[in-house]
Amino acid sequence: MSKFKTRFRKVIKILTIIVLVLLVLILLAMNFLMPFKESDDKLTRYFAGKNVEVLIHHQEYQGKSIRFIETKGNDAPDSTLVVFVHGAPGSLSDHKAFLADSLLLTKARLISVDRLGYGESHYGDSETGIAAQARFLKFIVDQYPHEKLVLSGHSFGGPIVAKFGMDYPDITDKIIMLAPLNEPTSEPMFTISYFAKWKLTRWVLPKAIKVSADEKFTHVEELQKLYDEWKNMEVPILHMHGTKDFLAPISNVKFSEDHIPDHLLETIVLKEVNHFLPWTHFDLVKQEVLKSLE
């Protein structure tokens, strides 16, 4: 029996080592293959293939480089601005299809940003503050004199654009939240998130994943800071959500209904739909952006 136990322990030890080695290899592969951002050259080729002129901006913000892109059709009014904000992880590429859409290009100047910590904006340096992310958006918006401003935020970008509306209602005409995580009490936490927290595994992960995890572990606290601000919202908000969203529970819709003034809130609940609305329901999101510009 003792020999059997000894062999069993050896097998378990070997299997554990094999699993750990495979895990490290997988994480290393993710580091090289999943940077969650696209180069300027790749973005330029994408828009050239769509016959759309794109301006890629690199500027300095708080002493470090940031990046955002813009497109605008020849006949689009300079006074109308639409800003797209990605989730976590993500980058400005998440909304590039909207910036290349021929109809949207006739209606507004379209902008997509690398949020702080992602893409080419302070890449790898976590900025977990929702208010700080909103101030960064204000830095970009201030560069474009406008009469109408619409902001669309996906996932973690949802409460960020909402905070922008809370802080700058006089310049904001519409907020669109796509599958947002705005309810503190239902914030899900997944085991895989801890790989970006543990020192043993964190070092091999892509920077975007580490930044995303840092946001994840502070998100409830950040949402609590907004808890009493929702009721003071002065800007119209559209909240779009899928019932099969396992990353942002559908209870987030109820949170919006309970905390945002009724006359300002519109909700669209999509049955059997997941979290990835900018891609799975591009046409619907596009139509809602167009409606907000009317």
Instruction: Read off the CATH number of the domain in which 195 is found.
Output: 3.40.50.1820
Residues 6+ away with beta carbon under 8 Å from 62: 122
pLDDT band at 210 (very low <50, low <70, confident <90, very high): confident
Burial of 51 (0-12, 13-18, 19+ CB in 10 A): exposed
Does 199 score more than 50 pLDDT? yes
Alpha carbon distance 251, 271 (integer Å): 14
| CA distance to 8, 28, 263, per residue, from 95 (Å) | 52, 27, 29
Give the residue among 107, 247, 258 at the shortest CA–CA distance from 179. 247
* H helical segments located in the chain: 2-33, 40-49, 96-99, 130-141, 157-167, 199-202, 207-226, 251-259, 277-280, 282-293
Of the two residues 210 and 155, the one the predictor is more confident about is: 155
Does 93 score more than 60 pLDDT? yes
How many C-beta neighbours within 10 Å does residue 119 have? 27
Does 13 score more than 80 pLDDT? no
Q: Are residues 194 and 261 in the same domain?
A: yes
Q: Are residues 135 and 18 in the same domain?
A: no
Q: Are residues 229 and 126 in the same domain?
A: yes
Compute the average pLDDT of residues 14-27.
51
Specify the pLDDT at position 24.
46
Compute the average pLDDT of residues 104-125.
96
| CA distance to 32, 98, 233, 256, 288, per residue, from 238 (Å) | 37, 18, 13, 10, 9
pLDDT band at 200 (very low <50, low <70, confident <90, very high): low
Does 282 score more than 50 pLDDT? yes
97 token code pair: 């299809």
How many C-beta neighbours within 10 Å does residue 167 have? 15
Q: Are residues 46 and 14 in the same domain?
A: no
| CA distance to 24, 90, 193, 237, 245, per residue, from 274 (Å) | 30, 17, 20, 21, 4
Specify the pLDDT at position 27.
45
Compute the average pLDDT of residues 71-90.
94
pLDDT band at 209 (very low <50, low <70, confident <90, very high): confident
Q: What is the pLDDT of residues 21-72, one digit of tens each?
A: 444 444 444 444 445 889 999 999 999 999 999 999 999 999 999 999 999 9
Q: Are residues 171 and 186 in the same domain?
A: yes
Q: Which residues make beta-bridge pairs with 111?
A: 70, 83
Specify the pLDDT at position 208.
85
Specify the pLDDT at position 32.
40
Specify the pLDDT at position 9.
67
Q: Are residues 55 and 170 in the same domain?
A: yes
What is this structure's pTM?
0.87
Spacing of C-alpha 191 from chain mean position: 20
Compute the average pLDDT of residues 255-276.
97
- CA triplet 26, 187, 33: central angle to 5 degrees? 20
pLDDT band at 103 (very low <50, low <70, confident <90, very high): very high
Question: How many domains does the chain contain in total?
Answer: 2
134 token code pair: 């909103």
Of the ranges 10-24, 52-66, 179-193, 209-223, which one carries the lowest mean pLDDT score? 10-24
Alpha carbon distance 243, 179 (integer Å): 10
Q: Are residues 16 and 57 in the same domain?
A: no
Range of the domain at 15: 1-33
C-alpha gyration radius of the chain: 21
Alpha carbon distance 152, 69 (integer Å): 15
| CA distance to 21, 85, 104, per residue, from 292 (Å) | 51, 16, 11
Q: Are residues 116 and 1 in the same domain?
A: no
Q: Please give the span between the terminal C-alpha atoms of the chain, in angstroms, as a whole number.
A: 79
Give the residue among 36, 254, 127, 273 at the shortest CA–CA distance from 285. 273
Specify the pLDDT at position 109.
97
Q: Are residues 197 and 267 in the same domain?
A: yes
Q: Are residues 52 and 119 in the same domain?
A: yes
Q: Are residues 117 and 258 in the same domain?
A: yes
Of the two residues 190 and 130, the one the predictor is more confident about is: 130
pLDDT band at 140 (very low <50, low <70, confident <90, very high): very high
Q: Are residues 92 and 21 in the same domain?
A: no
